[in-house]
């Protein structure tokens, strides 16, 4: 859950996060003039408040595909006091 200014909170679904990641990464690649395209993104739970994001990329020059995996750890406030 994300807190907005004014105390409101928003909860994102895994599909929302996958779409946001794909959209932002596409814009970054375009701005950097990198000849890659995001083919897909998926978000998977990987433990307590930990998520794995798998991204499939395509090189537009060679048409080859490759994958990137990112792990998002829990927010700092969720790890305080844990060993």
Say if 49 falls within a structural domain.
yes
Number of domains in the chain: 1
Say if 57 falls within a structural domain.
yes
Tokens 């395509």 correspond to 58
**In whole angstroms, what is the distance from residue 77 CA to residue 80 CA?**
5
Its pTM surpasses 0.75: no
Say if 79 falls within a structural domain.
no
Q: What is the pLDDT of residue 25?
A: 92
Question: What's 55's domain CATH number?
Answer: 2.30.30
Domain that holds residue 20: 10-73
CA 39, chain centre distance (Å): 13
**In whole angstroms, what is the distance from residue 72 CA to residue 60 CA?**
28
Q: What is the pLDDT of residue 80?
A: 58
Q: What is the pLDDT of residue 2?
A: 60
Say if 35 falls within a structural domain.
yes
Say if 69 falls within a structural domain.
yes
The rounded average pLDDT for each run of 10 residues, N- to C-terminus, in the chain (83 residues) is: 66 89 93 93 90 94 93 75 57
Residue whose C-alpha is closest to residue 14's, from 22, 24, 4: 22
Residue whose C-alpha is closest to residue 21's, from 37, 1, 41, 3: 41
């Amino acid at each position: 859950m994300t807190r907005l200014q004014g105390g409101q909170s928003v909860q994102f679904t895994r599909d929302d996060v996958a779409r946001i990641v794909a959209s932002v990464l596409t814009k970054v690649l375009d701005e950097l003039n990198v000849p890659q395209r995001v083919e897909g993104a998926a978000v998977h739970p990987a433990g307590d408040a930990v998520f794995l994001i798998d991204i499939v990329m395509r090189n537009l020059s060679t048409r080859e595909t490759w994958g990137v995996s990112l792990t998002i750890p829990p927010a700092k406030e969720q790890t305080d006091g844990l060993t």
